[in-house]
Amino acid sequence: MQWLSDAGRIAFDATYVMLSCGGFALLVSGLMLVSPGRARQAGEWILIGTAALAVVLASDLVDKLDNGTVGVKLVMIALVASALKLSDTFAALQVAGSRPVRRPELAGLVKFLSIAVQLGFLVLLIRHFNLVSPVFCHQIIFLTLYGFLLHYFLPLRYRLPFFLFLSLSGIVFIFGFVQAGWLIGLGLILIGLCHLPIRFSFRVVLLVLAGGALAAFRVGRMPAPWSGAIWPILGSMFMFRLIAYMYSLKHRKAPVGVWPSLSYFFLLPNVVFPLFPIVDYTAFHRTYYDVDRHLIHQTGLKWIFRGIVHLLLCYTSSGSICPRQ
């Protein structure tokens, strides 16, 4: 039975799993080149799921898998990014037909590498000073880093689904499958109430009643079947955002859909930031890739850097800052 033991060690070896994930992504992208329309669309979703899995593996969110080296993780990310780029390039050639597709590929790649390096330095800064919490420093921040590296190469129509997959992965990692299921399930119920095919005023009444029921659970009037740990995050995600969302629905300020709506409520970093800024749904939709994406990414880096400076000043004034040794 020694061979079974050896096979088990190989199956859960981080290097083997990560390289297999990258190789599988390349295999899928290659099969998509010779596949018909519907099969190719299915292949695109498989590729998106593989990319999300690669980010989860690189961020060490799988407990039963030993942490791989940074080099192996980057090789896996590079393989998956190559598969995404190959798929996107082939789709662009099909649309353009025989005409050459002229894109500022080199300039865009240089800008991407510059942004990736800057984000990497910010990640190292966060890790050095142990900012926010251990789980943020060791997992969630890398979920953001590796997620960006692959998100950049996705077609626009797949970016929100990919972002949502990463956001839900972070929730599951923080709370576990059971409690994350309760958190996501409660959120889906609240979102579903917003879209019931009844008068708007009736939907508002149902949301108020749902809020009252949750308040009764929160104060202990009724025993809640879920952990009390999800309350701060549930409230942070839905308390004010539901108001902005319902206002947008009533006045038709922005179109709604499955991916935009779910991504709006289950924002990735919210799971580790109970005191999260109020996000307006209309602005969330209006400013989604409304200018050059490199400018958007660079603006995001500036805000991350400002947030780090604010946290360092706060921790320094309170004497609680603790750099890694």
String of DSSP letters for 220-257: TSS--SS-GGGHHHHHHHHTTHHHHHHHHHHHT-S---
Question: Residue 127 burial (CB < 10 Å; 0-12/13-18/19+)?
Answer: middle
pLDDT in tens, 90-122: 766 665 554 544 556 778 889 999 999 999 999
pLDDT in tens, 220-255: 898 999 999 999 999 999 999 999 999 999 998 888
The answer to whether residue 153 sits within a structural domain is no
Provide the 8-state DSSP code for 69: P
The answer to whether residue 31 sits within a structural domain is yes
Q: Which residues of the chain have pLDDT under 50?
A: 1-10, 98, 100-101, 325
Regarding whether 267 and 185 lie in a shared domain, the answer is yes
The answer to whether residue 111 sits within a structural domain is no
The answer to whether residue 147 sits within a structural domain is no
The answer to whether residue 36 sits within a structural domain is yes
Query: 309 near 123, Cβ under 8 Å?
Result: no
The pLDDT value given to residue 98? 46
Cα Rg for the chain, rounded, in angstroms?
22
Q: For the chain, what is the domain count?
A: 2
Q: How many residues in total does the chain contain?
A: 325
List helix spans (H) across the chain.
Answer: 2-11, 14-33, 37-58, 70-96, 105-128, 134-135, 141-151, 156-194, 200-219, 231-238, 241-251, 258-265, 281-286, 293-318
Determine the structural domain holding residue 94 and report its residue range: 1-102
